[in-house]
Amino acid sequence: MAIKFCCKVDFSATNTVELIQKAYGDAALSRTTIFEWHKRFREGTESAKDDERSGRPTTSRTDDNIAAVDKMVKEDRNVTSRLIADTLDIPKTVVLRILREDLKKRKPCSRFVPHALTQEQMDERVAACQDLLNMINGDKNFLDKVITGDESWCFAYDPETKRQSSEWVGEHSPRPKKLRFQKSKVKTMLIVFF
């Protein structure tokens, strides 16, 4: 804007360079850039933005594609940018720009929580805490006797790991197959105080 002002008051390009370098010091534009913009403003350019560049126009970042990406994300929040790109047949970089710039989305990692407790388990925790409070109220020195405490979930069964399920087989026998099991849903919390 300073260069435009200098053009409006009929300063020469050389005088404009001197004034801008004096005003901005090391942060000033280069002499060549100041001369170029001075010439543009003299020729009637009003905007300080760069001119449109020639080249292939973007065809992937359209309103239709933005709407399609938005719809896919609303249907499945875990969908990957690669799957969106493959489905819509547009580059993954364009999908990421649409997600971040147009839709203002981000994909942070989930926070790890060690347990998803049922209502019954939460009630059991409340009961255990109330028992501890009763012990504290009954014996004022109870906490002085506690050195450390720990808790752990005890599952009814743990599935075997891949390594644990390996077995010896004949030379030409097919590889053994093992179904993948989830950890037992039957579990008990073990709380120990010393």
Q: What is the pLDDT of residues 71-113, one digit of tens each?
A: 988 888 778 888 889 999 999 999 888 888 888 887 776 555 5
Q: Three-class SS of residue 110?
A: coil
Q: What's the number of CA atoms in the CB half-sphere (13 Å) around residue 98?
A: 27
Digit-coded pLDDT (tens) for 57-81: 567 888 899 999 889 888 887 788 8
Digit-coded pLDDT (tens) for 99-150: 888 888 877 765 555 556 778 888 988 998 898 889 888 888 877 777 777 7
Tokens representing 70 are 């938005």
Q: Where are the domains of the chain?
A: 2-42, 63-102, 119-165+181-193
Contact 147, 194 (CB under 8 A): yes
Cβ of 109: how many Cβ atoms within 10 Å? 5
Q: Encode burial over 61-75: b for 16+ CB neighbours within 10 A, e otherwise.
A: beeebbebbeebbee
Q: What percentage of the chain has pLDDT greater than the value 70?
A: 72
Distance CA(169)–CA(44), nearest Å, equals 85
The torsion of the CA quartet 97, 101, 104, 107, rounded to 10 degrees, works out to 30
Banded model confidence at residue 163, pLDDT cuts 50, 70, 90: low
pTM, rounded to two decimals = 0.35
